[in-house]
Amino acid sequence: MKQRVPFFVVSVVIVLAMLLGACAPAAATEAPVASDATEAAVTEAAAVEPVTIKVVSFLTYSENAEGAESKVVEAFQAAHPEITVDFQLLPYADYFTSLKTWVAGGTAPDVASLDLGMLQEMAAAGSLADLNPMIEADGYDLSQYYQSTLDMFQNNGGQYGLPASYSNVVLYYNKNLFDAAGLPYPTDKMDWATFMDYNKKLTADTNGDGTIDTFGTSRLWWPYYMLLTGATPFNADATQCTLTDQAAIDGFQAMVDLSLTDKVAPTANDLAAQDDWHMFEAGRIAMYPIGPWSITEFNDVIKDFDWDATTLPIGPTGKQVTFLFGNAYSVLAGSKQQQAAYEFLKFVTGPEGDQIRQDSGFEIAPIKSVAEGSFLKAMEGKKPANAKVFLDSAAFAQSVPTHARWSEIADAISAQLDSALLGDITVPVAMQNACDTINPILAESK
């Protein structure tokens, strides 16, 4: 099969031809006859037309005032003048709803940024292009990415996105509160019993008015407590809800007990008055589970106390886990410019794009060389001093389960847990109610 001249080579041939023509003297002698190969390349180059791709993204919209993602796109444009990018940076809140509306209406962009849940839902619906054929034809080196970040965006053997950023959750701690309580700082060896002991000693009504002013910790997003006990929301072939299994009950009971029984974490009412993010900034939470998206703001805002980070505690079953989150860029299945869109993906998720995003302080680069070099270097002189904890925690990080209708499943679980956290129902009842909603969803998905 005849091998086509790569798109970027064609562009170079055009540019060189223009430059040589402009520099030729007016009375030049007759030029030598070009070889057949050169003529073929120039003929193909002349047939190539510049293309425009439409790209939408939510990355760095809220976290970075300097517009890091716009800088990534500008860098791509400078490197690929033959591809014009019609770029829109959009807020996360209504992003997915808008994207699905565009897909349904036949006006989808060529490329979109997606988080894990979005991508899995769209891949299952057939709305995304499998990148594997383009990756294989191009010989693109995937080993430069952390494998776990690639795995997140696979579905039934297809690679439906290339990772643009990843993050996990670690445990920030207020050193001043630990010092005042006479407690040693938490380490990566801290087990659940020690964690709970610290929580109880650090939770206090400091002004004696009967209301807790300082909490030992705050609750994490609910899948953490499921992962902590090895539970899953459904069985291996996604035909049956498994949230009524004892492992799931135990995990969610530990979550609810933090607020309602042990009272070491803010309740729903407490969080309605002030969320846990701002509570930590105000020195009201001693151990705060959070990810690298907090680094920039916390370094800017927190001036009244010292803080650092360690891994999340080893769970009550002896297991240590954390979340693995990620954002990817994907090519839409309906794109008429898939090759140009693929070139865009390689750049914005590769070393060049990752470097710009990393320099802005947005999450962690999935490209190993950027994460292990620039991330840690950029953290020098900033907090947490133990920034390496984010890379260390990747060793036991897990992704949340995925399903084509994951958003509906997650909503069902969240709604029931909200009732349990208010004390309206027990955890076993909550999980039975959740399964009553989830099982029909699983059945309809087959």
Which among 257, 247, 249 has a CA at the least distance from the CA of 216?
257
Q: What is the dihedral of CA 290, 291, 293, 299, to 10 degrees?
A: 60
Residue 64 — very low, low, confident or very high, per pLDDT cuts 50/70/90? low
Write the CB contacts of 260 (distance below 8 Å, at least 6 apart in sequence).
Answer: 267, 421, 423
pLDDT over 80 (residue 272):
yes
Q: DSSP code of 4?
A: P
Fold of 52-166+327-378: D-Maltodextrin-Binding Protein; domain 2 (3.40.190)
pLDDT digits (tens, 9 = 90+) for 382-440: 999 999 999 889 888 888 777 888 889 999 999 999 999 999 999 999 999 999 999 99
C-alpha–C-alpha distance, residues 224 and 192, integer Å: 14
Q: What is the mean pLDDT of residues 10-20?
A: 35
Asked if domains 52-166+327-378 and 170-324+384-444 share a fold, the reply is yes
- Does residue 34 surpass a pLDDT of 60? no
Size of the chain, expressed as the number of residues it contains? 446
Query: What confidence score (pLDDT) does residue 55 get?
Result: 98
Superfamily of domain 170-324+384-444: Periplasmic binding protein-like II (3.40.190.10)
Amino acid at position 111, single letter: V
Angle at 251 between CA 441 and CA 407, to 5 degrees: 30
Residue 63, pLDDT score = 60
User: Token pair of 85, please?
Assistant: 């990018």
Per-residue pLDDT, 260 = 98
End-to-end CA distance of the chain: 41
pLDDT 10s digits, 123-150: 988 999 999 999 999 999 999 998 889 9
Q: What is the pLDDT of residues 170-181, one digit of tens each?
A: 999 999 999 999
Judge whether residue 42 has pLDDT over 90: no
> 86: pLDDT confidence band, cut at 50, 70 and 90?
very high
Give dist(CA 148, CA 113) in Å, integer: 18
Domain segments of the chain: what residues? 1-48, 52-166+327-378, 170-324+384-444
User: What is the model's pLDDT at position 360?
Assistant: 81
Distance CA 230, CA 319 (A): 8
The whole-number pLDDT of residue 31 equals: 38
Residue 26 has pLDDT above 80, yes or no: no
* Cα three-residue angle 79-340-95, rounded to 5 degrees: 100
Query: What's residue 123's pLDDT?
Result: 93
348 vs 72: CA distance, rounded Å? 6
Residue 203: CA count within 13 A, CB half-sphere: 20
Span 35-58, mean pLDDT? 63
Residue linked to tokens 């997003």 = 221
